[in-house]
C-alpha cells in the first residue's frame, strides 16, 4: 500500500480519534462562551501546549524504542536530567546547537548504563531505572558544584543563562518568510474572523505553526521517522521482535542483546534531547529539578498511546495541554474544569443511549462533582495548579489503561541461550 492510499483509508479508529479531539475542542469552546474567557483554545494556549508537549513526546518516543525492544525504562527521567545538564553546559561552552548535541549524548550515556545493567547484567528493569534516576540527579548536582561555580553566575542548582535556539514562523500557514518574501498568514486570518468554532480551530493550528522552534520541528519529524524505522524496516522488525518474544527472535538469528542495546541507547538519546529542549527552547538555563517528572509523564504518554508513535504524540499533546494550563492562570483552569464537567456529563448521556447504565452513572456523577467544584470554587489556588498536569495524566491513564497492549515480553529478564 502506498502512503497516499494509506492516508486515504479511513479506518474506524482514526476517525474516532479525530472525532474525540474535535468534540473536546467544541466542548472547550462552549465552556469558554459560558465563562467569558477566551484563553482555553486561544493561540497562546495552543502554542504553549505544543511547546510543552515536545519534551514529553521525546521522552515518550524514547520509552517506545526501549519498551518495543523489551526493556522497561523508568530511568527516562534521569536520562532527561542528564540531557538538561549537558545541553546547558554545551550551550554555555560552545553554542546552542552543540548544546543540543551534547544533551543527546549525555542522555545516551545514561541509556548505555541502563542497557549495561538490564541487558548485560540482567538486573530488574524497574530497579535499574530507579537507580538511574537517583544517580542522574546526584551526578548532575556534583557536576554543577564543580562547573557552575559562583564566578560563572551559576550555582550548585543552576547554570548561568545560556543562549537558546531561535523560533521561526512556518511559511503560508503562519506568514513566515521564504528568502525575504513574506508569505500570507492563512490561519492567522481565519483566527481573526471570530467565527464560532472555526476560528478556534484556526487559532490552535496557528499556535502550532507560528513561532515554531527548529527543535520542535525536529522533534515532530522523529514521529514519522520512528514509525517508518520500527514498522517499515527489517531493523525495526528485529527490534520489535525482541520485545515480543526474544527467545523466538534469537532462534531466528536476531542479535537480541545488540538490538536491545541499540534501543535503550536511542531511548536515552531521545530523553536527553527532550531535556535539551527544555533548556534551549523553554528555559534558557539549567535548573535542578526542571524536568519535573516529564520523563515519567512521557512514560504515561507511551502507555496512553498504546506503545505506538502516533499514539505517543497524541498522549504528549494531551499532557502538554495539561501542563500549559497551570501557566495560563486560575481563570483558564476554572473554565477547563467546566469543560471537563460538560464533557463527562455529555459522555454519560451518550453511554446512556447505548444502555451502559453503570458507565453512564459513574460518568455523570464525576461530571456533576466537577460542575459542583466549578460553581463553588471561585479561584483555584496557585499551589493546586501545580498538580494539574499530574492529575490529568493519572485520570487519563485511569480512563484509558484497560484496552491497551504492551509488548509481550516487555520487562522480561532475558539471557542469551537460556530457556524462557
Partner 1 sequence: MKSGKLLTSVVAPLIAIIIAFGLAALALLLVDINPITAYKEMFVFGTSTESLIITVNNALPLFVSALAVGIGFKMGLFNIGIEGTYLIAALFAAYIGAQFSITPVLHVTAILLVAVAVGAFWAWIPAMLKVKRGVHEVIATIMLNYIAFALSAYLFLNVFKAESSSLTIATDLIPETGWIPSLNPVLGWFGIEARAGANLYGFLIIAIFLGIGYHYLVNKSRYGYDLRSSGVNAAAAHASGVDPKRMIVRTMLISGGLAGLVGIAPLLGFYHQYPQDFPRNFGFNGIAVALLGRNHPVGMAFGALLFGFMQRSSLILDLKDVPKEIVTIIQGIVVLAVVIVYEVISRYVQRRVVAAAARATEAEHATVEVAA
CB of 304 to partner 1, least distance (A): 10
Residue 281 to residue 358: CA distance in whole angstroms: 46
Is the CB of residue 55 less than 8 Å from the CB of residue 274? yes
Window contacting partner 1 (CB under 8 A); options: 14-22, 252-260, 363-371, 398-406: 398-406
Q: Which of 97, 247, 327, 390 binds partner 1 (CB under 8 A)?
A: 390
Question: In degrees to the nearest 10, what's the CA dihedral of 217, 222, 224, 225?
Answer: 130
Site for partner 1 in 236-295 (CB under 8 A): 292-293
Contact 316, 76 (CB under 8 A): no
Taking CB under 8 A as the binding criterion, the range among 9-17, 101-109, 132-140, 164-172 that sits at the site for partner 1 is 132-140
Q: How far apart are the first and last CA of the chain?
A: 36
Among 24, 112, 141, 220, binds partner 1 (CB under 8 A): 141
CA 334 distance to own-chain centroid: 24
Question: Considering only 123-131, 158-166, 169-177, 187-195, which stretch makes contact with partner 1 by CB under 8 A?
Answer: 123-131
Nearer to partner 1, 34 or 394 (CB): 394
Judged by beta carbon, residue 273 or residue 296, the one nearer partner 1 is 296
How many angstroms separate the Cα of 3 from the Cα of each of 13, 128, 218, 370?
18, 40, 21, 43
By beta-carbon proximity to partner 1, the closer residue of 138 and 153 is 138
Output the CA torsion 62→63→64→67 (10° steps): 130
Contact with partner 1 (CB under 8 A): which of 35, 144, 213, 363?
A: 144
CA 141, CA 319: separation in Å to the nearest integer? 28
Cβ-defined contacts of 227-233 (< 8 Å, 24+) = 227/309, 227/310, 230/64, 230/65, 230/68, 230/309
CA distance 399 to 396: 5
Residue 372: all three cell numbers together = 459542583
Which of 23, 24, 130, 368 binds partner 1 (CB under 8 A)? It is 130
Residue 160 CB, shortest distance to partner 1, in Å, is: 18
Answer for the pair 110, 255: CB distance below 8 angstroms, yes or no: no
Contact present, 10 and 19 (Cβ < 8 Å): no
| Contact status: 394 vs partner 1 (CB under 8 A) | yes
Site for partner 1 in 23-82 (CB under 8 A): 74
Binding to partner 1, residues 167-226 (CB under 8 A): none
127 touches partner 1 by CB under 8 A: yes
Per CB under 8 A, the list member of 66, 128, 324, 335 interacting with partner 1 is: 128
Position 138 contacts partner 1 (CB under 8 A): yes
By rule CB under 8 A, what string of x and - marks binding of each residue 292-321 to partner 1?
xx--xx-xx--x------------------
Give the three-state DSSP class for 177: strand
The rounded radius of gyration (Å) of the Cα atoms in the chain is 22
Position among 142, 195, 197, 235 found at the interface with partner 1 (CB under 8 A): 142
Q: What residues make contact with partner 1 under the rule CB under 8 A?
A: 74, 113, 116-117, 121-124, 126-128, 130-132, 134-139, 141-142, 144-146, 156, 292-293, 296-297, 299-300, 303, 381, 383-387, 390-391, 393-394, 397-399, 401-402
Amino acid at each position: 500500500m502506498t502512503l497516499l492510499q494509506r492516508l486515504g483509508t479511513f479506518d474506524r479508529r482514526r476517525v474516532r480519534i479525530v472525532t474525540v479531539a474535535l468534540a473536546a475542542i467544541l466542548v472547550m469552546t462552549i465552556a469558554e462562551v459560558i465563562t467569558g474567557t477566551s484563553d482555553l483554545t486561544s493561540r497562546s494556549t495552543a502554542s504553549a501546549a505544543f511547546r510543552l508537549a515536545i519534551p514529553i513526546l521525546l521522552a515518550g518516543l524514547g520509552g517506545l524504542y526501549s519498551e518495543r525492544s523489551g526493556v522497561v525504562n523508568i530511568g527516562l527521567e534521569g536520562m532527561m536530567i542528564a540531557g538538561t545538564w549537558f545541553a546547558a553546559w554545551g550551550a554555555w561552552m560552545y553554542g546552542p546547537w552543540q548544546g543540543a548535541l551534547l544533551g543527546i549524548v549525555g542522555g545516551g550515556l545514561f541509556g548505555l548504563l541502563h542497557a549495561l545493567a538490564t541487558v548485560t547484567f540482567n538486573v530488574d528493569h524497574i530497579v535499574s531505572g530507579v537507580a538511574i534516576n537517583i544517580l542522574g540527579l546526584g551526578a548532575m548536582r556534583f557536576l554543577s558544584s564543580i562547573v557552575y561555580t559562583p564566578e560563572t553566575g551559576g550555582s550548585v542548582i543552576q547554570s548561568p543563562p545560556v543562549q537558546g535556539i531561535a523560533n521561526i514562523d512556518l511559511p503560508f500557514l503562519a506568514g513566515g518568510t521564504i528568502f525575504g518574501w513574506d508569505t500570507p498568514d492563512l490561519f492567522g486570518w481565519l483566527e481573526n474572523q471570530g467565527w464560532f468554532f472555526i476560528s478556534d480551530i484556526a487559532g490552535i493550528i496557528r499556535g502550532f505553526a507560528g513561532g515554531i522552534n527548529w527543535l520542535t520541528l525536529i522533534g515532530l519529524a522523529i514521529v514519522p521517522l520512528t514509525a517508518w524505522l520500527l514498522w517499515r524496516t527489517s531493523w525495526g522488525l528485529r527490534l520489535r521482535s525482541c520485545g515480543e518474544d526474544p527467545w523466538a527472535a534469537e532462534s531466528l538469528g536476531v542479535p537480541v542483546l545488540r538490538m536491545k542495546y541499540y534501543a535503550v541507547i536511542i531511548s536515552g538519546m531521545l530523553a536527553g534531547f527532550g531535556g535539551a529542549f527544555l533548556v534551549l527552547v523553554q528555559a534558557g538555563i539549567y535548573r535542578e529539578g526542571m524536568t519535573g517528572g516529564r520523563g515519567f509523564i512521557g512514560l504515561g504518554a507511551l502507555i496512553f498511546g498504546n506503545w505506538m508513535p502516533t499514539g505517543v504524540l497524541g498522549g504528549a499533546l494531551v499532557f502538554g495541554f495539561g501542563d500549559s494550563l497551570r501557566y495560563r492562570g486560575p481563570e483558564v483552569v476554572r473554565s477547563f474544569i467546566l469543560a471537563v464537567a460538560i464533557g463527562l456529563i455529555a459522555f454519560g448521556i451518550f453511554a446512556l443511549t447505548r444502555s451502559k447504565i453503570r458507565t453512564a452513572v459513574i460518568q455523570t456523577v464525576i461530571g456533576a462533582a466537577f460542575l459542583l467544584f466549578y460553581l463553588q470554587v471561585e479561584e483555584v489556588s496557585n499551589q493546586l495548579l501545580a498538580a494539574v498536569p499530574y492529575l490529568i495524566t493519572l485520570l487519563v491513564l485511569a480512563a484509558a489503561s484497560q484496552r491497551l497492549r504492551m509488548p509481550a515480553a516487555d520487562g522480561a529478564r532475558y539471557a542469551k541461550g537460556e530457556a524462557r
